[in-house]
Structures are given as structure tokens and as C-alpha cells.
Amino acid sequence: MSDATLTLVVLAVVVVLFIWNRLPVEIVAIGSALVLYAVGLVTLDDVLGGFGDPTVVLIAALFVVSEGLDATGVTAWVGQSLVSKTAGSARRTLLYAMVISAALTALINLNGSVAALLPVAVLMAIRQGLAPSELLLPMVFAGSAGSLLLLTGSPVNVIVSEAAEGAGVGGFGFAEFALVGVPIVVASLTLMMFVSSRLLPQRDGEGNPPDLSRQASTLVRQYGLEGLVHLRVAAGAPLLGQPRGSDELHQVSGIRLITVLDGRTQRPVSDGQFELDDRLTVLGPTDAVSSFAADRGLAVEAVRSRSEVEGSLIGRDSGAAEVVVPPRAQLVGESVRPGQVMRGGALVVLAVHRQGADRGTDDTVLQAGDVMLVEGSWEALDTGVAESDVLVVDAPDLVRRQAVPLGRRAWSAIAVLGVMVVLLATGLVPAVVAALLAAGAMVILRAVSVQQAYRRISWTTVLLVAGMIPMSVAITTSGAGDLVADLIVGVVGDGGPTMLLVAIFVLTVVFGQLISNTATVLIVIPIAVSAAAQLDVSARPGLMCLLVASAASFLTPIATPANMMVLGAGGYRFGDYWKLGLPMVAIFFVAAVLYVPLIWSF
């Protein structure tokens, strides 16, 4: 058996395993590289080379940049702005959702933009009287079109650009993709504005993500925190020198002590003695609070309105979280009360509920099922919840992303993105260097932590690309690419380069509905380059045609992770995708076969 035939046999097995979908795609990709090495089709350097390939590093770095925008509330700001601008118009809601999805995808990739916009889109649909199914699929399809606008729109863009450079025809510039991307986005959005309502079902989804954009209002109402008052310990106050945890303060009728802030450090405290300028936050009727303050020599510093309470409860620097005490937790049997500081002063208990009832200001010996509302910095909430043996109702990280638009380091993240775009667009440094600098800046500026960066990187994508690069090498070096290219050229016959684009488009679209578009591109690239060489034409139109075709993953829910994300949320069925997907594929076909050669000539 020749090397070319053996390579195609391994490739066929890999494709079958991808379609079978019983093994993790990472295992299939890396396993294929090891099999190619075992049969002598690639060297060990080829097998390991994918992990150090600039394309793989660039893709990983772009995931970190995407996380910086999401974690700092930039995407939440985009989503909430979208909700505010679409009030009262279903058509405007659809248009804005698609435009934002396309624009955001161009910067942070399809999966990241859909993950960020999904809860906002569901909320928009409900508020406008639309079924989520009428909005979510057009949003995803618009994002797929938007991935063709910039180099950062998709890992596939990076792979194709690097392939063009390797083929000797020059890589594609940062914004060069927009030459075909803009017409496709305009045509796609126009099509979906007019036909999506006729082709999509009207269904409510299951398991939609919670809307946490109004979490502060929910918590204030749930725990009765309206009308908080700040009191300062003045000179000569009877409280000076008394214990901060004195039972007297917790047993005043009608008054509820929430927190005590140390006058010197401005940190919550629950031990020690009252000192000058300590601040007490209390809750109660105005008359009772005034009497309480007068009797104890306290100055009324501020009466907080409901909106002010909401803003301080969940803001840029700090937030609140509900936690449930599970059975056998270490906290069972411990005594807590509102205002008590936990975890070395990082978190403060605001309220304790048992079976839906407020325990008030009394000490509570915790039992399984008790619910505590705790407040602290976002960092303290993240680490405190992770390290404590409690169950969190809504993860602080998720609350922050939805409820705090343009968070503390949002403008730093936006600035980093802007600098990266400039570096990529001007080519002052290699693309991988620009992305690494941006990812590093996101960590240094604390837009993301190192742990967040690790979590955000799609290791499935990274391992898939790294594992499939040896397959792409084998297809080229074994002659398998030439063999398949011969077949394609034979089928194309006298049709010339245009029919070659048709063949590349059809091959890519068919594979792209069944396996990862990243894997598809890595398989088809050497075939497209070889076929172009046999016809003695430039490989640039063929590679751009391949790129456009790879984005046309519309016919099945398994074609992309983003398609799968909205399957349950939109209540879709397998057969719903192709109804709107076929007209979309037609648009991409016209662009890839007829329009691309007008921009990148043979």
C-alpha cells in the first residue's frame, strides 16, 4: 500500500470517528498523529510540532483576550445596551441581535460571542414577545458570517492565512477578510430579516440560562434591604469601647444591624471594640433609627435609597452571593449572625434564612439547608465560595459578567483590544506576538487571572488543531493531497478554476456539517493547494473559498459548538437548522464561487 493510500485510509478512519462522536475529538486528533508516526508517514518532530505551531499559540492567546472582554463586563455592557435600544420592536430586536453577534464574533470568535449573548438574547426575546427560537438561530448564523470580517473572527481564519503564507502566495491581512465578509454579512442579515420568521418554529427553550442582570434588585427584595442607613460613631458616643458584637445592638426592637466598618481601615469587622469613626449600617424604620442613633451618640451619615443599595450591593468592586449550607458541611453547628465577618475579614454575613424565613439579628446555629447572603470583593467571593464547603446559588463570576457592565478594568481590556487590533492590522509584529502581548497585558492589568485564562482557553480547539496538523502534513508529504487533487481536477475537467472552487466549496460544506470546521479545513487545505498547482492557478482564491465554505456550517446542530449552544435554549430540533441553513449556504456559495475570484484573481 502506497503512502498516499495509507494516509487516506487513516484520514477515512478519523472522519468516521469524528462522525461517530463516541470518542473525544481531542483523542481522535492526537491519536491520528500517533498512528501516522507509527506507520512512518510523519516524524516525531511533525507529531509534536503542532503544539508549538504559531497558529496554535495564536488561537490560545485570542481565547485569553476574549475572556478579558467578557470578565470585565464589556460584553455585558454590549448586551444591556442592546436590550435598551430594542424596546418595542421585534424586527429591531432581530436586526440588532444579528448585528451585535456579527461584530462581536469578528473580535472574539463565534463561540465566545454566542456564550456572552445567549442569556441577553433570551431575555430580549421574552421582553419583546418573541419565542427564543425566532431569535437565537439567526443570531448564531449572523455570528458565523461575522467570523469572516477579521483575522480574530475564527481560528480557521488564522489557519487559512498561515496556509496561504506557506503556499507561497502570501498570507491574508488582518482586515482583508472583510472584502468578502462584509458582503456576506449584509446579504445574510437581509435574508434573515425577511425569511427567518417563516422558516423557523415558534418554541420556548428548555434550560435557558438565568437572567442575572437584575440580581441586585432581586436580592434587595428577597432579603428586605430597602432603606439602609449609615451611622458614624462620634466623639463621646456611649458605644466607644463597647464590644462590636454586643448583643444589645442586635436586640433593639425594629433595628437590624447589617455591618460594622472599621473607622481606620474601612474594612468590615465584627470583633474588637467600637472606635471613633466606625460606621454602622442599620436597617429599620426612620423613627426607630433616629432614636437609636440619638441614644448612642451616632451621627446619621446617609440614608440610602433602594437604587443606591442595589448599586452598593453589586458593583464594580464588590458583590453579594447566596450560599446554601449542605449536609455534613463544616459550617453545620457554627453560630453566625448578620454583620459577622468571615474568612479573615474578606466576607461579611448580611442575612441568614431558614426554610424561607429571615432569622433576624439573633445568633443562628447553622443547619443543613440554611441560606446565607454574604458580601465582599469579587475576588473574595470567588475564592471564598470555591474554598468553602457551601453550595452557591448563582456563581459570583456569572453574576458579575451579567450584572456589572463595564466593570472596574473594562477600559483597560478595551484598550488592550484596541492595541492588539492596531498591531494585527498594521503588521508591525507577527500576529502571534501581538496576540501574546495582548493576552499577557490582560493578565498584568488584572482583567483576568491566570486561572481564568487557563479556564477560558478552549483546550478542545487547541488540541484538535495541534493534533490535526500532522494529518495535514501527511496529506501533503505522502502525495495523498495530489491524489485527491487529481480526482478533483479530473471531475472538474474543462470547467477550469471556477469548477475547482465549486468542488472545494461542496467538499468543505459536506465535511463541515459532520465534523469540526477546524478539522475540515486542515484536511482540505493541502488538497486545495495541490489542485490549484495542477491547474497552474493561484491558491489564494481556493483558500478563501475554503474559508467561506468552512463558515457555512448551518445545516446541522453538530456543525459548530455555537449551533449546539442554542439547541436547547431555542427549543430547536435537528431538522430546524437546514430550513434556514440552506438559503444561507446559497449566499455563501455565490460569494465563494463567483465573488471571491473578483477580489483574489487566479
Q: CA 215 to CA 313: how far, in whole Å?
A: 10
Q: Provide the total of helices (H) and of strands (E) in the chain, helices listed first.
A: 27, 12
Sorting pLDDT into bands at 50, 70 and 90, what band is 42?
A: confident
What was the pLDDT predicted at 124?
74
Q: Please, what are the domains in the chain?
A: 213-393 (3.30.70.1450)
Q: DSSP string covering 170-198, please?
A: -PPPTTTTHHHHHHHHHHHHHHHHHHHHH
Rounded to the nearest 5°, which phi and psi values hold at 373?
-100, 115
What was the pLDDT predicted at 208?
56
User: How big is the chain by its Cα radius of gyration, in Å?
Assistant: 29
Residue with cell string 436580592: 219
Q: Among positive and negative, which fits the CA dihedral 507, 511, 516, 520?
A: negative
414 within 8 A of 74, measured Cβ to Cβ: yes
What one-letter code names the amino acid at 439? A
Residues in the chain: 602
Residue 83 predicted with pLDDT over 70 = no
Residue 186 predicted with pLDDT over 70 = yes
What was the pLDDT predicted at 87?
63
What value does the mean pLDDT take over residues 520-548?
88
488 within 8 A of 528, measured Cβ to Cβ: no
Over the chain, what is the mean pLDDT? 83
Share of the chain above pLDDT 90, in %: 15
Task: Count other C-beta atoms under 10 Å from residue 186's C-beta.
Answer: 13
Q: Does residue 191 or residue 79 have the better pLDDT?
A: 191
Residue with cell string 449536609: 327
Q: Does residue 21 or residue 103 have the better pLDDT?
A: 103
Sorting pLDDT into bands at 50, 70 and 90, what band is 210?
A: low
Give residue-wise pLDDT tens across range 139-174: 999 999 999 999 888 888 988 998 888 888 888 888
